[in-house]
Structures are given as structure tokens and as C-alpha cells.
Amino acid sequence: MKHNLITSSITAAFIMASAAATSNAVASEKEIQANDLVEMFEKLGGKHPGYRKAHANGLCASGTFLPAPNKHFTGAALLSSGELPVSLRFSVGGANPNSDEKAPGTRGVGMQIKLPNGALHTFTGNNFPVFAGKNPEVFYGFLSTLLPDENGKADPEKTIAFVENNPSVQANVLWNKTAKTPASFANTEFFGLHTFYFEQSNGQKTKFRWNIEPSLGVKTLEKAEVAKMPSEFLADTFAQQLKDSKVSFTIMASLGEAEDSDIDPSKQWPSERAKVALGTVTVNTSGGDACKNTNFDPNILSAGFTPSADPILRMRSPAYAISFGKRLSNQ
Ligand code: HEM
């Protein structure tokens, strides 16, 4: 991988790094805990009491989920209970609630589907198809290289060296190099990245990764179009699309083969894997505060579904819980 390739990727890749960062750090050998990552996000994006410690800038929405029952998920209550209510939150990556919506980079969605018995099923994904690191230690080490020093400047050489020595961040860095500004949340594809399992009552297991495809198609903005946009446009654009057309997303499951990693979200599965639809989410409203006190923890799953042992996925529950507790207590 060439130096210039990595250098030019860094800014776009991690816009959550900002002048608010206060200290420098080096890649750590120690085992990383969820709170270390939450604190790292705050160092990079600044302290914003009361807000999510990642994806602080967001838009609530609500809608319905129409399931598409199929043989790989036979018996799943999620797919056999008819139409179900969904709470959604679309977001921009980073801890800054006023993050620049014109910048390319991370966009996310949280979808929480409510089953008739009160159980919840959560899909929380981002717009990149591969994660920056095979485990929390590599992810943390990578983020550490983006922290500015005492003069307020990050050292790109440090990041370049880290990327060269850690192959598991390279695919994500490359994706960020070509990422353009998403035109709208309604025109963004989202990826779950981790592996999940569904077990039927006869013991048959389905290994899958999910992605969410927008019915209005994926659209990004060219630089000249971005220049004409106001710094905040995502909520208004989405509301206008809801008025003008049907906004929906199909949740797809890629079916894993034995050789596909179930513990490493930095390794993509081959694109030719068979895919089945799990159902379609149609959005009815956007705006308001309905999702403010929701925790879109991706490990909150309905009956029959289980998370894999992916260490990144495992770290998400405690990290989201810490952030949830902090923001509810205005920290
Ligand atoms: C170790 C890795 C990760 C850590 C520590 C982490 C941490 C966090 C935290 C602390 C929040 C705020 C939670 C809240 O206050 O409710 C958050 C939100 C979010 N994260 Fe992660 N995350 C990680 C990986 C991922 C991955 C792999 C994805 C995508 C597949 C992702 C997508 C999102 C999204 C979309 C949100 C916003 C959810 C909402 O709107 O409430 N995160 N993350």
C-alpha cells in the first residue's frame, strides 16, 4: 500500500478526529476495555454532555417492518408475526452532535423492531462494508494515531506506519479513500458487518451477515454539489423524500459458508454468497425525539437469533451501555 494512498484517506476516514482532541497517545498493547474506546471517542470528537459518545448527530424516524419469511429462518418470530413497528435513528459518525454533514465518511442507522410479545430485534449498521480492525485492540490503536499532539496536530506518519503494520485496517482505509458524501440517509446502504446465527427448532443453524438496501438507490454527491449544500441538510432532505415518495429499505441476509470468518468484521465475505431478504422497513415519519432514549445495541436480538463471538461485536454492548448511562445522566 502506497504512502500517499493512506495519507489522503486519513481525513475522510475519520472525521470524528477534531481539534477538540487534547492529548497524543501511542498504540497500546494492553487489552482494551469498552470504556477505553468511549473515552477515545470523546478525545477525538470532544466532550458533549447528554449526547451519544459516537454517532451524536442523528435523526429519529419511525415505520413498519414487513417480513419476508423464508426457509433459512423458519420459525423466527421476527419473520412470522406479520407487520411490526420499527423505531429508527439515522446518524453521522463521531462524537460531535454538530458534525459536518457535507463531509464524506461514516453514516449509520439503528433499527429496532418490536415484536408482539414486547421483544426487540435490532439492526445497527454503518455505510462501510468492512471494519477498521480485527479486534478492539487494533481499532483502538488505529484511533490513537489520529490524536493530535500538544500542538494540536496529528502526525500522518504515525497513522501511515500503523496502517502498514496492521493489515486488518487496510480495507476500511481504502474504502474511505473513495467514499463520497451521501446524498441522503434514504440513499445510503448500511452494513451489519458482524456475523449472526439463527437456529431453527430442529437445530439447523443459519450463519449470516446482513445489509440494508435503500429502495431509492444509493446516491452520493459530487464535490460541486456538496459545495452548494448547507452544512446541515440530512433531516430536511429526508423529510422531503418522505413527502415525495415511498422511503423503504430491504434487510438482506448473506448466507455464510464454512470458510467465511464469523469473528472478524475486517474480513469481507465473497460477494457471490447467496442472499435472502428478511423483510422491508417502510419509513412513515421522521424528526422528533422518539429515539433519544433508545439504546440501539446490536446484540439485542429476538428469539432464535444469537450473536457470534466476534470481539468487536461483543465490545459494542458494554460500550453502548456506558454511553447510554452517561448521556441519560447528562455526562
Ligand atoms: C468496538 C467497536 C465499537 C464501539 C466501541 C462502538 C461504540 C459506540 C457507542 C458508544 C455508540 C453510542 C451508543 C449510545 O449512546 O446509544 C455507538 C453508536 C453507534 N454505532 Fe458503534 N461502536 C463500535 C462499532 C460499531 C460498528 C461495527 C458499527 C456498524 C456496523 C457501529 C455503528 C453504530 C451506529 C449506527 C451507532 C448509532 C446508534 C444510534 O443511533 O443510537 N458501531 N457506537
The count of structural domains within the chain is 1
The DSSP 8-state label assigned to residue 32 in this structure reads P
**pLDDT confidence of residue 30:** 84
Mutate to test the pocket of ligand 1, among 36, 316, 331 (most ligand atoms within 8 A of CB): 316
Question: Among 42, 188, 296, 314, which is best to mutate for testing ligand 1, by the most ligand atoms less than 8 A from CB?
Answer: 296
Q: Which residues of 6-24 are buried (b: 16+ CB within 10 A; e: fewer)?
A: beebbbbbbbbbbebbeeb
Decide if 89 contacts 58 (C-beta within 8 A). yes
Q: Which atom of ligand 1 is nearest to the CA of 37?
A: 5
- Choose among 298, 75, 60, 299: nearest CA to 199: 75
The closest residue, in CA terms, to atom 3 on ligand 1 is: 316
CATH code, domain with 130: 2.40.180.10
Ligand 1 centroid vs 204 CA: distance in angstroms?
30
Q: Whose CA is nearest to atom 25 of ligand 1?
A: 316
275-308: per-residue pLDDT in tens?
Answer: 999 999 999 999 999 999 999 999 999 999 999 9
Q: Which residues line ligand 1 (CB under 6 A)?
A: 37-38, 52-55, 58, 89, 91, 108-110, 124-126, 131, 136, 139, 192-193, 265, 295-296, 312, 315-316, 319-320, 323-324, 327
- The whole-number pLDDT of residue 118 equals 98
Instruction: Supply the pTM of this predicted model.
Output: 0.93
For ligand 1, the distance from its centroid to the CA atom of residue 311, given in whole angstroms, is 14
Q: Residue 67, CB half-sphere, CA atoms under 13 Å: how many?
A: 20
Residue the block writes with cell 453502548? 320
Looking at the CA of residue 324, tell me the nearest atom of ligand 1. 15
pLDDT at 3: 44
Rounded to 10 deg, the angle between the 156-165 and 3-13 helix axes is 110
Non-local CB neighbours of 28 within 8 Å, separated by 6+ positions? 137, 140, 141, 144
Q: 47: domain range? A: 3-328
Going from the Cα of 88 to the center of ligand 1, the distance in angstroms, rounded, reads: 14
For 207-224, write each residue's pLDDT tens digit: 999 999 999 999 999 999
Q: Which of 16, 43, 52 for mutating ligand 1's site (highest number of atoms within 8 Å of CB)?
A: 52
pLDDT score at 29: 60
Q: Which atom of ligand 1 is nearest to the CA of 131?
A: 27
Atom 24 of ligand 1 has which residue's CA nearest to it? 316
pLDDT of residue 28: 47
Are the C-beta atoms of residues 319 and 34 closer than 8 Å to each other?
yes
- Mutation pick for ligand 1 pocket among 55, 134, 195, 289 (CB with most ligand atoms within 8 Å): 55
Q: Which parts of the chain have pLDDT scores under 50? A: 1-28
